[in-house]
Amino acid sequence: DAGVIQSPRHEVTEMGQEVTLRCKPISGHNSLFWYRQTMMRGLELLIYFNNNVPIDDSGMPEDRFSAKMPNASFSTLKIQPSEPRDSAVYFCASSFASGDEQQYFGPGTRLTVT
């Protein structure tokens, strides 16, 4: 298995632009998590899905952030419009909730908003 796949790996964009981050979970996993990591705030859970349904989005910082999971093999995190304070590493992770429960992290997307 290729593990959790994220794209792009690096994204540099100007303030005000729309940013879309993509994630492909491990095949067979039924839970998907989006995290944001910064030096100041550490590793924050933004939103998570079970069986493609958003369960808790209380970590989403503002209405500028939205996430979707149209099917079991794909999820997106969108920021519109982006701001410099959104600069961070965004990780996607997946797990099999009824199995070993371990969350497997993707390589992350390093977002820089100028």
Residue of 2, 42, 53, 63 that binds another protein (CB under 8 A):
42
- How far apart are alpha carbons 73 and 43 in whole angstroms? 24
Q: Which of 79, 81, 60 is nearest to 15 (CA)?
A: 81
33 binds another protein (CB under 8 A): yes
Residue of 8, 27, 43, 83 that binds another protein (CB under 8 A):
43
Residue of 14, 18, 56, 83 that binds another protein (CB under 8 A):
56
Q: Judged by CB under 8 A, which stretch of 9-17, 69-77, 78-86, 99-107 contacts another protein?
A: 99-107
Q: How far is the CB of 106 from another protein (least distance, A)?
A: 7
Tokens matching residue 108: 């992350």
| Length of the chain in terms of residues written | 114
- How far apart are alpha carbons 87 and 12 in whole angstroms? 9
Where b means 16+ CB within 10 Å and e means fewer, 65-93 reads bebebeebbebebebeebeeebbbebbbb
48 binds another protein (CB under 8 A): yes
Residue of 55, 83, 84, 114 that binds another protein (CB under 8 A):
55
User: What residues make contact with another protein under the rule CB under 8 A?
Assistant: 30-31, 33, 42-45, 48, 50, 55-56, 91, 95-108
